[in-house]
Amino acid sequence: MSELIKRGLYGAIYVAVILASILVDSMLTFALMGIMGVVGFFEMRKLTSNHRIYYSSLLGILILWGTSAYQFIYGTGLNLAPAIVASVVAIFVQHIWASDSEITTARMSNSVLAVAYLALPISLAPWFTVDSYGFFDATLLLGLFVMIWTNDTFAYLVGKSIGKHRLHERLSPKKSVEGFVGGMAFAILAGYLFHVYTITEYTLSDWIFFGLISSIGGTMGDLFESALKRSAKVKDSGKFIPGHGGLLDRIDSFLFVVPMVWLYLYIL
């Protein structure tokens, strides 16, 4: 199988799994997010091979994800503060007993980073599959994925065609300012189309902001993961998706966009 066919086939499978999970049921979305959290944890351990990450960080990820799922099922409202405290305490306790705890805090720092980076997005995202009345409506989460994919695609196409000015050459030499602007424009257009062709509680200005966040947050997420990979001196975060690299390579934008959208909705 050629590399191009492999990339296309597994890319289609990845998209199909994402769409099926979020469009069928909220609990399937929780399951999908749980898998992302676990796989992402092990990829982050590889990316920090010099300092590693405590397994208490995985426990913290599961605590936040499980708390979010419990609160969703029983309709108590989202409150992750106790889970966040428990997760950090678990990491601190493991650090006390680590063999090198008296000479370095790198593993503890990486472990807290893993919880913040992975646990918050996977715990928040499934809540985007219900409206303010508690009815199932996955339009927003679907829209975020579509806008992120749209931004990535057109940032690449525009950047390859007319890109001349580097956006952040140190972390991503191929990204251009022109590509960034082009990706943003099409992400906003995608948001506009979601407003026109779907029925949701969100206004046109909301969807425009979702497009902006998908572009800006998605680009920052990509650059953040690039920094992690450059630190580890690797091209991909793993081999989870043949032809595409690791799972983090595919969801790096999503991990930044979800908390930013949640903040936007919370402020509103």
The per-residue DSSP string of 221-243 comes to: HHHHHHHHHHHHT-SSS-SSBTT
Burial class of residue 133 (count of CB atoms within 10 Å of its CB; 0-12, 13-18, 19+): exposed
Give the C-alpha separation, 84 to 262, whole Å: 17
Q: Which of 106, 126, 146 is the last residue of a domain?
A: 126
**Which residue range(s) make up the domain with 212?**
136-268
Q: Which of 69, 104, 126 is the last residue of a domain?
A: 126
pTM of the model: 0.93
Q: Kindly state the tokens that stand for 8.
A: 């296309």
Q: Are residues 143 and 246 in the same domain?
A: yes
Contact 48, 57 (CB under 8 A): no
User: pLDDT band at residue 1, thresholds of 50, 70 and 90?
Assistant: low
pLDDT at position 244 is: 81
Instruction: Give domain status of residue 261, yes or no.
Output: yes
Q: Which of 102, 126, 150 is the last residue of a domain?
A: 126
Question: What are 168's strand-pairing partners?
Answer: 172
Instruction: Give domain status of residue 97, yes or no.
Output: yes
User: pLDDT band at residue 121, thresholds of 50, 70 and 90?
Assistant: very high
The pLDDT tens digits for 229-257 are: 988 888 888 888 887 889 999 999 999 99
In the chain, DSSP finds a helix count (H) and a strand count (E) of 10, 2
Question: What are 136's strand-pairing partners?
Answer: 130
Residue whose token pair is 């062709």: 197
